[in-house]
Structure 1
Amino acid sequence: MTEQSVVTQESRWETYADKALAGECLTMEEGLSVLTAPDEELLPLLHAAFRVRRHYFGKKVKLNMIINAKSGYCPEDCGYCSQSIVSTAPIEKYTLLKKEVLVQGAKEALARKAGTYCIVASGRGPTDKELDEVVEAVKEIKRDMKLKICACLGILREDQAKRLKEAGVERYNHNLNTSADHYANITTTHTYDQRVQTVKSVKEAGMSPCSGCIIGMGETHEQVVDIAYSLRELDADSIPVNFLNPIPGTPLEHRRDLDPRYCLKVLALFRFICPAKEIRVSGGREVNLRHLQPLSLYPANAIFVGDYLTTEGQAASLDHQMIEDLGFEIEECAL
């Protein structure tokens, strides 16, 4: 690559940042150019994405913590998930945790400096009895602790969404996971449109929508851009970007499509297309970004601390140190 072409490429990334800050959306061609950017252009690309991130979030980093409130026993056939009915992964299985355990998890979230506590349960959707347990736990947590509560319990009925909102749940997660035209290759027991409708129902109930994706499931570059467009259109407030951790025993166990540099380009793409939204580096961060994890916080402004659902995460103390080493600041109690 000549010196002139390098300058031209750097100008291109800065132009994308300018478009994002002006509220304009990248074209498909521009989005594809981010995903296929030469590796030697990675730092200029991240610098441009950081301009947008800094405009909206400064150097603050939001921390989220997950509790796996119900493990396994899921009738869905999601190819990426160790808890699905088609998985043979040797995971721990248990029914919904009692209120006291969920409350104790919130205390642990505070200890890890997390501002958002995410109650996640496997399954198509919650039973009324399960919802009762979550509602009672949320009421106690909100009474005693300064935490934002996010629930992820599957497909909701309108009355269930209303109950969660009234209990104090500020945010509800329901990921689109992949593009509409790739969805049937990943899951067949429910549809992409059902996921979209759940996110819309959450918004109608007054909760903040959290919806994201999983990268590395055999999707094309065009489909990655399409996912970003869909989340922009849904106006999801929080966008968790997961990178496939191919768990032995799941249908996608053999996929090894990702490298750290491509993951960073994906995060830059989402920052350009969804500039003002919380973009969270989520599952598969440690496995796929490896030693480049710190660079992910130039386009993204949030991470999970601690373990994920059935896989281990990096120790919270290492995440805290990473943020400090970058010269960034943890946004505690990010309500």
Structure 2
Amino acid sequence: MNIARNILEGVALTHQKALELFTDVSYDTMSLVHEAYLLRKHYYGHKIKLNMILNAKSGICPEDCGYCGQSRDMKEKQRYALVSENQITEGAKVAAENEIGTYCIVMSGRGPSDKEVDHITASVEHIKAAHPQLKVCACLGLTNDVQAAKLKAAGVDRYNHNLNTSERYHDEVVTTHTYQDRVDTIETMKAHHISPCSGVICGMGETDEDIVNMAFALKDIDADSIPVNFLHPIKGTKFGEMDALTPMRCLRILALFRLVNPSKEIRIAGGREVNLRSLQATALMVANSIFVGDYLITGGQPNQLDYDMIKDLGYEIDDGN
């Protein structure tokens, strides 16, 4: 195919070619994985970045996101206000002790109040004092310039706000905010020199072209880190009965995102265990980053299985140095 070689020589994949590669079954999935691997190896060698989530505020959300067990339409089993500073800093200590490179502080809701931002920033200042090597990613929802400036000053390295789906399909996923709201949040963070993290959720009924459009949208906003989530259906949500993914389709999606965004951190995120199943290790031939531990309201596999998988692949954990 020589796709990777052409990309490394400066010939970026066009939207038309990406759609052809993704949809034409004559392009074997494992061949696309191999091309993606060549790019992953060029930019990241055999290193894996590890991330850990703290669900710092659960439920209590006015949004109607169709994939989310914390939306306004769900009666959450996990429903609590913002946890204490001590719980946030203790989570960072656990992350640092387990070779985690990025600690992700996540809040449910449309966006944080100024009081909540102050709570998060105070926590981050303590984390940075105790664990200066640990990167902190905040995921707090829609924010404004003043809040972004406070997060930057406190030491937040990265901000996550996923596009989730294509602009065309957005209203099928959520109606309580717009696609542009999400783009604007990422642009606000970039304006304050906070590394942008933005990704997608695949398996919600989107088309092949939607998936290709997602990959290029993330290229356009220049996301540094791209988490690729695979829908883990939650009963009672709009997409709770969907089952559109197979392990091989997940691999094809990951390969596409690497080919379109060759130098970016591609992270396998939520749903990898239930959708990739026995092919999780193969997926790390494409992606260079994973979450370790549980997600927001769904469980991950035992941490040791991830560490064993990394070791078995002959990979090493990226300590950021």
User: Would you call these one fold, judging by a TM-score over 0.5?
Assistant: yes
Equivalences for residues 156-195 of structure 1 within 5 A: 156-195=143-182
Could you tell me how far 1:307 is from its partner in structure 2? 0.2
CA deviations over 1:225-284 (Å, ceiling 9, x no partner):
000001001000000000000111111101110000000010000111000100000000
Say if 1:23 and 1:119 are closer, same or farther in 2 by CA, change over 3 A: farther
1:209 aligns with 2:178: no
Where 1:292 maps in the other structure, the secondary structure is helix
Structure 2 Cα separation of the partners of residues 41 and 233 of structure 1: 27
The residue aligned with 1:241 is: 228
Could you tell me how far 1:108 is from its partner in structure 2? 1.2
- 1:79 counterpart letter in structure 2: G
Equivalent pair of 1:174/1:195 in contact (CA under 8 Å)? yes
Could you tell me how far 1:40 is from its partner in structure 2? 8.6
The residue aligned with 1:96 is: 82
Among 285, 306, 312, which residue is 2:272 paired with?
285
Could you tell me how far 1:315 is from its partner in structure 2? 1.3
Where 2:183 maps in the other structure, the secondary structure is helix
Could you tell me how far 1:37 is from its partner in structure 2? 5.2
Equivalent pair of 2:143/2:185 in contact (CA under 8 Å)? yes
Structure 2 Cα separation of the partners of residues 299 and 37 of structure 1: 20
Equivalent pair of 1:28/1:222 in contact (CA under 8 Å)? no
**CA RMSD in angstroms, aligned pairs only:** 1.3
Among 207, 211, 232, which residue is 1:220 paired with?
207
- 2:93 counterpart letter in structure 1: K
Structure 2 alignment gaps of length 5 or more: none
CA deviations over 1:122-143 (Å, ceiling 9, x no partner):
0011011111111111000000
Equivalent pair of 1:87/1:251 in contact (CA under 8 Å)? no
Equivalences for residues 46-65 of structure 1 within 5 A: 46-65=33-52
The residue aligned with 2:70 is: 83
Structure 2 Cα separation of the partners of residues 33 and 111 of structure 1: 45
- 2:55 counterpart letter in structure 1: N
Number of residue pairs aligned between Structure 1 and Structure 2: 320
| Identical columns (%) | 52
Say if 1:104 and 1:247 are closer, same or farther in 2 by CA, change over 3 A: same
CA deviations over 1:101-130 (Å, ceiling 9, x no partner):
000000111232110000000001101111
Where 1:69 maps in the other structure, the secondary structure is strand
1:133 aligns with 2:133: no
Among 32, 38, 44, which residue is 2:19 paired with?
32
Structure 1 Cα separation of the partners of residues 47 and 191 of structure 2: 29
The residue aligned with 1:42 is: 29
Among 241, 258, 264, which residue is 1:254 paired with?
241
The residue aligned with 1:5 is: none
Structure 2 Cα separation of the partners of residues 282 and 50 of structure 1: 18
Could you tell me how far 1:39 is from its partner in structure 2? 8.7
Among 97, 111, 130, which residue is 1:111 paired with?
97
CA deviations over 1:202-221 (Å, ceiling 9, x no partner):
00011000000000111100
Structure 1 alignment gaps of length 5 or more: 1-10
Runs of 4+ that moved beyond 6 A: none
Structure 1 Cα separation of the partners of residues 261 and 91 of structure 2: 31
Where 1:63 maps in the other structure, the secondary structure is strand
Scaled by the length of structure 1, what TM-score is found? Answer: 0.93
Among 308, 313, 319, which residue is 1:321 paired with?
308
Structure 1 Cα separation of the partners of residues 27 and 194 of structure 2: 42
Scaled by the length of structure 2, what TM-score is found? Answer: 0.97
Where 1:149 maps in the other structure, the secondary structure is strand
Structure 1 Cα separation of the partners of residues 94 and 102 of structure 2: 11
Equivalent pair of 2:229/2:270 in contact (CA under 8 Å)? yes
- 2:128 counterpart letter in structure 1: K
Where 2:12 maps in the other structure, the secondary structure is coil
Could you tell me how far 1:29 is from its partner in structure 2? 3.4
Structure 1 Cα separation of the partners of residues 207 and 99 of structure 2: 37
CA deviations over 1:284-307 (Å, ceiling 9, x no partner):
000100000001111110000000
Could you tell me how far 1:86 is from its partner in structure 2? 1.3
Where 1:130 maps in the other structure, the secondary structure is helix
Structure 2 Cα separation of the partners of residues 148 and 297 of structure 1: 21
Structure 2 Cα separation of the partners of residues 256 and 108 of structure 1: 34
CA deviations over 1:124-177 (Å, ceiling 9, x no partner):
110111111111110000001120000000011100000000000010000000
Equivalent pair of 1:170/1:208 in contact (CA under 8 Å)? yes
